[in-house]
Amino acid sequence: MAGRLINLYSDTQTRPSKAMRLAMAEAEVGDEQRGEDPSVNRLCEMTAELLGKEAAVFLPSGTMCNQLSIHIHCRPGEEIIAHRSAHILNFEGGGTAAFSGVQVQGLEGPGGRFSVEAARAAIRPKDRYHPQTRMIAVEQTANQGGGAIWPLGDILALGKLARQHALAYHMDGARLLNAVVAAGVPAKDFAAPFDSLWIDLSKGLGCPVGAVLAGSREFIEEAWRLKQRHGGAMRQAGIIAAAGIFALEHNVERLAEDHANARHFAESLRNLPGIWVDVDAVETNIVFFDIAGSELTAETFCAALKDKGVDLGGAGTRIRAVTHLDVTRDDIDAAIAAIREVLNEAKA
């Protein structure tokens, strides 16, 4: 179909704005690998400060942030406790096993979260039969959990558990700033108990590329060694780091609009026949809904919507919509109208 696609597929689909491109064009640059790119250095300082950590390193992707952290914290044969739906377990090409020889024990729990009791019960006995538990990992927000927020109390309690058992504590903070804005909890407070955590620049913050990993000075030095080893060290990377600086300065508070749009989308969906959605589960910018009550599958539903200019993803009868800075309130209403049409045409 002609015209602009309404892209609810993911918050990775944003295009850099004019103002962001201008900031990139004017970025001061140098040799990042030698620590001489002023824009990269500034982005890392800003992120370390935001998260209350000693240091930070700029990486090409969130996946690399997770994989380097796992490699630093864990030895082959050891185990990570994470949610069954975690990105490290399902969407990183088996990197945890391939690069680090580490396995993940996936815990159950609603909203992509697990309880402190479940984590405690999952810690392996210290004997020669069991893989030895080395790390607890949480996703803030929980992607496959529908953008659910881990409450600060649970974050702190899990941190205490990790310390008691000398486990590393890692946050996949791809959407940490969504949680910060929605919950009104400072990033530093969420970050405090973690040995390592990162934020993605290429999700709701609207940058074309990049993520920033933070931790102690010693941890970041190790991360730098691995970044170099894997070919992730860059040169005049200030061009892309400038987008990150721009995003931290301009695109954080506005995440509240994305959350309001997601909520509006879910509330509008609730009135459509054949669709089931838990509106109260929508805490940030991700909406999962189920179309089992219609004649359609995720495949036929998404294909029909794409013909009408709306991009969504899904599997089985479960559909995911993600709001971001390239989706307006009017786009949400247009997407709802298109969904209504698709449902009516399927019935006819």
Ligand X SMILES: *Cc1c(COP(=O)(O)O)cnc(C)c1O
Pairing relationship of beta strands 103-107 and 133-139 according to DSSP bridges: unpaired
The amino acid present at 78, given as its one-letter code, is E
* Torsion angle in degrees (nearest 10) through CA of 26, 30, 31, 32: -60
Binding span for ligand X by CB under 6 A among 56-64, 94-102, 298-306, 307-315: 56-64
Among 53, 71, 87, 227, which residue sits at the site for ligand X (rule: CB under 6 A)? 87
62 binds ligand X (CB under 6 A): yes
Burial readout 199-236 (b: 16 or more C-beta within 10 A, e: otherwise) = bbbbbbbbbbbbbbbbbeeebbebbbebbeeeebbbeb
Cβ-proximal residue to ligand X, closest one: 62
CA 89, 325, 322, 302 dihedral sign is: negative
206 binds ligand X (CB under 6 A): no
Among 7, 41, 63, 285, which residue sits at the site for ligand X (rule: CB under 6 A)? 63
Measured CA to CA, the distance from residue 347 to residue 254 in angstroms comes to 39
Give whichever of 176 and 304 is closer to ligand X, judged by the CB atom.
176
Among 78, 79, 139, 283, which residue sits at the site for ligand X (rule: CB under 6 A)? 139
Give whichever of 143 and 284 is closer to ligand X, judged by the CB atom.
143
286 binds ligand X (CB under 6 A): no
Picking from 142, 113, 148, the residue whose alpha carbon sits closest to that of residue 281 is 148
Rounded least distance, CB 129 to ligand X, Å: 32
Rounded least distance, CB 230 to ligand X, Å: 13
Rounded least distance, CB 203 to ligand X, Å: 6
143 binds ligand X (CB under 6 A): yes
What residues numbered 161-180 form the site for ligand X, per CB under 6 A?
A: 172, 174
- Phi, psi values for residue 143, rounded to 5°: -60, -65
Give whichever of 82 and 242 is closer to ligand X, judged by the CB atom.
82
Give whichever of 142 and 310 is closer to ligand X, judged by the CB atom.
142
Among 7, 47, 133, 202, which residue sits at the site for ligand X (rule: CB under 6 A)? 202
Give whichever of 209 and 260 is closer to ligand X, judged by the CB atom.
209
**What distances in angstroms separate CA 233 from CA 35, 95, 202, one per listed residue?**
10, 19, 18
First-last CA distance in the chain: 22
**Residue ranges binding ligand X (CB under 6 A):** 61-63, 87, 139, 143, 172, 174, 200, 202, 211
